[in-house]
Structure formats: C-alpha cells, structure tokens
A and B are shown apart, each in its own frame.
Chain A
Amino acid sequence: GAGVSQTPSNKVTEKGKYVELRCDPISGHTALYWYRQSLGQGPEFLIYFQGTGAADDSGLPNDRFFAVRPEGSVSTLKIQRTERGDSAVYLCASSLRGNNEQFFGPGTRLTVL
C-alpha cells in the first residue's frame, strides 16, 4: 500500500516568509509525528498527534511553528516568519495507535535564503 507522503519535496523561501509543509500518513494510522533533521544531525522530535489533537508539542522550537491535523489524517506544519536557521529536512512519520513502529515519509527539504 501507499506509504507516508510529503509535499513539497523541496521548498525554497526567503527569510521572513510563511511556509506550509504537508504530510499524508498511511491510511488508518491515527498517530502522526513531525521531526526536523538538520545537516549532519539525527532527526529531532517536534510534535505528535493522536487523531486530531496535538498530544505532545514539546519539541516545537518557538511560537513561529504550528501544526494542525483537522480531520485526523493529513497534517500541515506551518512556519511563520522563516529564519535561515529553519533550513532543514522536515520528516513526518505515522503509526497505529499504541504501536511503537513509525513509518517515515521522504521528507521536505526546506531552504531559507
């Protein structure tokens, strides 16, 4: 079946602009995670959704970052007033509720000029 998909695959924006990154999880997966992977680093947790609600947003770096999942499926990560330090690969993963195996999407590479 289809895996986790993320769009766009690449996004180049200018400092100060607003961006949205989309994640489409595996059908039936109620848990959805966002991670950020900076160059040369491992992925870092940002936020976790169970259904429509954000169950843990402790990894969001500041209030410029926000994520939604209004219907419990597709999620959008929103970044306001982008900064050069936001440049990274943003990864999305999904899993069945209570299952510890997460399936990752290919990521969105965000470049802030």
Chain B
Amino acid sequence: AQSVTQLGSHVSVSEGALVLLRCNYSSSVPPYLFWYVQYPNQGLQLLLKYTSAATLVKGINGFEAEFKKSETSFHLTKPSAHMSDAAEYFCAVSVHTGGGNKLTFGTGTQLKVEL
C-alpha cells in the first residue's frame, strides 16, 4: 500500500527566507507524486507533479520539488517565501485504480510566513 508522511504539521518562515516542506513516501511501485496547496475555504490547487520524467520538478509560484528514490522523498522548496505563500500544503502519491488514479494524501503542513 502507498502512504505519505509529512514531517512538521506547522512550519514558520520569515518573508524572503527559504521554504522547505518535507514529504516522504512509501510505494510498492514507481510512484506518481504531487504537491497541492489549499488556501482557506478553497479547494486544492496543484502546485507540481512528478511522473517519472525529470527528477527536479518545477511548479507554479516559484515552487519546485526533487524526487529522490534512494531517500523516498519529494520535498517541496521555494528560495524566497512571500506572504501570499501562507497556506496548507499537501503531498500526495497516486495509486492506479481501474483506469484512474486515486490520491493518498499526507496530513498536511501549515505554512506561516512572518514579516
């Protein structure tokens, strides 16, 4: 079975500082991995995805993530945090099912950006 672990339910950074949100996965097959962002009272928005092409994936809003098979990790980074980045971030692994791809999510990391 696939699973995702997000270390740190809350992360706080200063504006302009590096953002690092951690995600480790467990999968019996080569995984598809995703990062989603959720702003208050809004749906999930896809930030980026890894689907077995380049291991360094660039997404929207300056975020990127690197797939490291040896470490079973897919950490999310952004060089310089902005106030608008404050939100909850979810890492997810995709499981192929009946022609579809159901997502297994981590418990999320709430990012706070301080002045």
Contact = CB atoms under 8 A, between A and B. Distances in A.
B43 A107 contact: yes
A104 B45 contact: yes
Interface stretch (B14-22, B60-68, B78-86, B95-103): B95-103
Contacts of A65: none
Contacts of B46: 101-103
Contact of B98 (A35, A50, A100): A50
B82 to A, nearest CB: 23
Interface string B84-97: 00000010101001
21 contacts: A3-B43, A31-B100, A35-B103, A41-B108, A43-B44, A43-B90, A43-B103, A45-B104, A48-B97, A48-B98, A48-B100, A48-B102, A56-B100, A97-B100, A100-B49, A100-B51, A102-B46, A103-B46, A104-B44, A104-B45, A105-B43
Interface of B: 4, 32, 36, 41-46, 49, 51, 90, 92, 94, 97-108
Interface of A: 3-4, 31, 33, 35, 40-45, 48, 50, 55-56, 58-59, 91, 93, 95, 97-98, 100-107
Given A50-B100, A103-B46, 17 more contacts: A4-B43, A33-B100, A33-B103, A42-B90, A42-B92, A42-B105, A42-B108, A43-B103, A44-B105, A48-B100, A48-B102, A55-B100, A56-B102, A95-B101, A102-B46, A104-B36, A105-B43
